[in-house]
Amino acid sequence: MSLIITDECINCDVCEPECPNEAITQGEEIYEIDPNKCTECVGHYDTPQCVEVCPVDCIPKDPGNQESEDQLWVKYAKLTGNPGRP
């Protein structure tokens, strides 16, 4: 499942540069995560980097966009051109 940024976001700008898939962009009021690009950092890191750096803990899993780890690996492969799960 991809992640989502809640309205508790304080626009601190630390999450956007940490995303290896460039899934995070500035929205009208808060940062937003493109679910088509978010792999929860699968293929890049062991944990989602945006969650690691967020000072207000406002980046939970998106319950409206559930994906298995296998699906995240497929998305990673499509986004990067690298093969899926090692």
pLDDT of residue 14 exceeding 70: yes
53-81 tens-digit pLDDT: 999 999 999 999 999 999 999 999 999 99
pLDDT (average), residues 38-58: 97
All domains of the chain in start order, with CATH: 16-80 (3.30.70.20)
pLDDT (average), residues 23-38: 97
pLDDT of residue 82 exceeding 90: no
The pTM score is 0.91
State the first-to-last Cα distance of the chain, in angstroms, to the nearest integer: 20
Query: Can you tell me the distance from the alpha carbon of 18 to that of 23, in angstroms, rounded to the nearest whole number?
Result: 10
Considering the chain, what percentage of its residues have pLDDT values greater than 90?
A: 92
The structure tokens listed for 31 are: 């940062």
Q: What is the pLDDT of residue 86?
A: 63
